[in-house]
Amino acid sequence: MLGDVACGAGLVVLLVGLAVRLPLTVPWAIVLTATGYLTGRAERHHVDGWAAVVGGALLLASELAAWSIDHDRRLTTESRVVVRQASTIAALVVVAVLVGFVLIGASGISTGADLLVTAMGVAAAVAAVALIQRLVRS
Amino acid sequence: MTRRASPKLGGYAVLSALGLLAALVLGRPELVALTAPFLLTLAAGLVVSVPPRFGLELTADERVVEGDDVRVVVTVTAETPVEQLDLYLRLPDGLALKDGTSPVSIALRRGEQRELELTLSAKRWGAHTLGPLYVRTRDQLGLFVWEGAVLQTPVLRVYPREATLRRILQPRETQVFSGSEVARHKGEGIEFADVRPWAAGDALKRVNWRASARRSELWVNESHPERNTDVILFVDSFAEARHDGGGTLDLAVRATAALADAYVKRRDRVGLISFGGMLRWLQPGMGTVQLYKIIDALLDTEVILSYYWTEIEILPRRTLPPNALVIALSPLLDRRSVGALLDLRMRGFDLAVVDVSPLPFTPRPKGGLDAVAYDIWTLHREAVRHRLNRAGVAVAEWRDDIPLQAVLEEVRSFRRYARTARA
């Protein structure tokens, strides 16, 4: 129930963001939707194999929303631009889903689930800090 | 070009950080799978993000006549692949987009050259600066945006469309060079003037045999020589009335160009005075070069607000040669220009005024005090014209629906009448 509410709220926030062309709403919509998904899986202790697809779908929604908000209606866009943009998004989503599947698969092959999760979490945190540092510097 | 991060970059960075942190705290591998796509996009975008390199060139026809079409070409040459290039050419007032697309978004492959053609309509005379040409591009994943503008853009000179004048005003006095105006004094020429007794040195071809036979002595013909004249075109740019894209200054400039063209063709010396907030002058000259100088000077004419009381004395003496005909094109809106015209008349200049009427550009209010003020204003204008008439200045009102030729004929008839009255 709580998960459905969170997903619904995420959808509403996304629609509002598209209507008023506010880019800030997109990350919040993703966060709310992801929270709804995780809340729905709270009582299940095994790893969901479809999480990679869910991640890919969130990326697709985010990319399409950003494209729609960024699009300047005063511009006449030639078809080549649209085709290239769509192809890039499609390729990105496919690769992201594949990477997600690899990560999910790696989490299943482990000596101890807790240890693997902890190690992945530490590596991810370090990567996140390094990334933010790079962003700040650039 | 300046680079800025798109909102997507910040959003994805926050999502990635939050997702990974949550995965660490909650110990859920699904969170990593949800976060990985955003992290992957960020990483890929930062790695492949390279500023697109391309060249831009803007070319246009340099000179056109009012009402003609202008061809503008924007040439883009890509040195690297450009995913999306947004181009916008800002057009000045006086030019309108007739054909082509602006703004436009295009994509280019490496080494590709594209030409974007725009057709503009030159609605109003003047020196119009095209642009700036605004440019915006982004990287492949849309994480970074580069923006800039091409500020050095060509200047398009739109010349006023001139009316063809069949007959123009004749100055009262001529100058010393050969021209098309029949002089009042006598000399070598074609136009018959008088007969007189033969004197030593007179050529045999000038002998009037009939008169000589009647008087039993030699009599010769005298002629009026053809001489050129000096004409000064006086454009009042202190104030103008405008409505619906047209104004009195537009009419005055077009009429000045037509008069300059007509007088230059007669081999007269033509000068220009733009009398207003910005005072400009051109000393009288002859030929096509002088005509282009005058028209180029006219293109820069504009109404500039000024409270400075400008008078005729500040003009160089050579700008107003004696015996020159001064043709003023003025809406008679500003006291300074009316004062300058009366000053010219009092100094003995041969002056004619074309009153470029502001009435068509100022609709009469429907009623009330505004309508009364409007009527008082029109009466004041009548009084100003009457004052100029009393000073011996020919004044004719010109409205847009009346050909300039008709107005010049009205001025001619007044000048003929005035001369007869003085005699």
Does the beta carbon of B116 lie under 8 angstroms from any beta carbon of chain A? Answer: no
How high is the pLDDT of residue A122? 59
Helix pair A113-137, A79-108: axis angle to 10 deg:
150
> How many independent structural domains does chain B possess?
4
pLDDT in tens, B72-87: 999 999 998 888 999 9
Instruction: Tell whether B105 is within 8 A of chain A (Cβ).
Output: yes
pLDDT digits (tens, 9 = 90+) for A59-80: 999 999 999 998 888 889 999 9
**Measured in Å, how far apart are chain A's first and last C-alpha atoms?**
43
Verify that B245 and B377 share a domain, yes or no. yes
pLDDT higher than 90, residue A5: no
Q: Are residues B42 and B78 in the same domain?
A: no
Which residues face B97 on adjacent strands? B120
Domain termination residue (choose one: B175, B203, B224): B224
Residue B165: inside a domain: no
Stretch (H or E) spanning A126: helix A113-137
Among the partner-chain residues A26, A76, A121, the one whose CB lies closest to the CB of B101 is A76
Chain A residue whose CA is closest to B28: A117
Cβ(B72)–Cβ(B112) below 8 Å: no
Nearest CA in chain A to B40: A96
CA distance B147 to B411: 58
Chain A contact set for B97 (CB, 8 A) = none
**B249 and B398 fall within a common domain:** yes
List C-alpha distances in Å: B158 to A10, B65, B256, B404: 57, 5, 15, 21
Report residue B170 CA to chain centroid gap.
26
Which residue out of B6, B20, B87, B145 would a mutagenesis test of the A interface target, given it has the greatest number of A Cβ atoms within 10 Å? B20
Model pTM score? 0.73
Q: Which is nearest to B94 in space by CA: B159, B163, B162, B164?
A: B159
Q: Which of the four pLDDT bands, split at 50, 70 and 90, describes residue B423?
A: very low
Same-domain status, B394 and B265 = yes
Interface test with B, best of A68, A76, A115 (most B CBs within 10 A): A76
pLDDT, position B299 = 87
Whole-Å CA distances, A16 to A11, A24, B4: 9, 11, 25
Quote the CA–CA distance of B251 and B399 in Å, as a whole number.
Answer: 9
- In this prediction, what percent of chain B has a pLDDT beyond 90? 43
Same domain, B79 and B135: yes
Task: DSSP letter for A43, please.
Answer: T
Q: Which domain holds residue B6?
A: 2-48
Query: Using the beta-carbon criterion (under 8 Å), do B142 and A70 form an inter-chain contact?
Result: yes
Average pLDDT over chain B reads 88
Q: How far, CA to CA in Å, does B370 sit from each of A75, B221, B247, B358, B364?
A: 45, 66, 21, 17, 8
Encoding tokens for residue B244? Answer: 């619906």
CB contact under 8 A, B20 and A128: yes
- Give the distance from residue B33's alpha carbon to the nearest chain A alpha carbon, in angstroms: 5
* Residue A111 confidence (pLDDT): 45
Specify if B179 maps to a domain.
no
**In which element (H, E) is residue B113 found?**
strand B113-122
CA distance linking residue B158 with residue B137, whole number of Å: 33
Q: How far apart are CA A79 and CA B240, in angstroms?
A: 48
Q: Which residues contact A20 (CB under 8 A, 6 or more apart)?
A: none
Whether residue B422 has pLDDT greater than 50 = no
Co-location of B242 and B383 in the same domain: yes
Calpha distance B356→B330 (Å, rounded): 6
Would the CB atoms of A80 and B106 count as touching at under 8 Å?
A: yes
Q: Calculate the alpha carbon distances from B366 to B357, B363, B373, B376 in Å.
A: 20, 9, 12, 15
B43 and B141 co-located in one domain: no
Which residue in the set B7, B24, B37 is minimally distant from A96, CB to CB? Answer: B37
In a domain, B175, yes or no: no
Residues B13 and B74 in one domain: no
How far apart, in whole angstroms, are the C-alpha atoms of residue A26 and residue A95? 21
Per the listing, tokens 């800090």 go with A129
Per-residue model confidence as pLDDT tens digits over A84-133 = 999 999 998 998 888 888 888 776 654 445 555 655 665 666 666 666 66
**B178 within domain boundaries:** no
User: Which pLDDT tens digit goes with each residue over B3-62?
Assistant: 888 889 989 988 888 888 888 888 777 888 888 899 888 888 887 777 888 999 999 888
| Distance of residue B78 Cα from the nearest chain A Cα, in angstroms | 15
- Which residues face B136 on adjacent strands? B86, B147
Other beta carbons within 10 angstroms of residue B290's beta carbon come to 21
Q: What is the pLDDT of residues B259-318, one digit of tens each?
A: 999 999 988 999 999 988 888 899 999 999 999 999 989 888 777 766 767 677 778 888
Cis peptide before B7 (omega within 30 of 0): no
Whether residue B173 is contained in a domain is answered as no
Q: Grade residue B105 by pLDDT with cuts at 50, 70 and 90.
A: very high
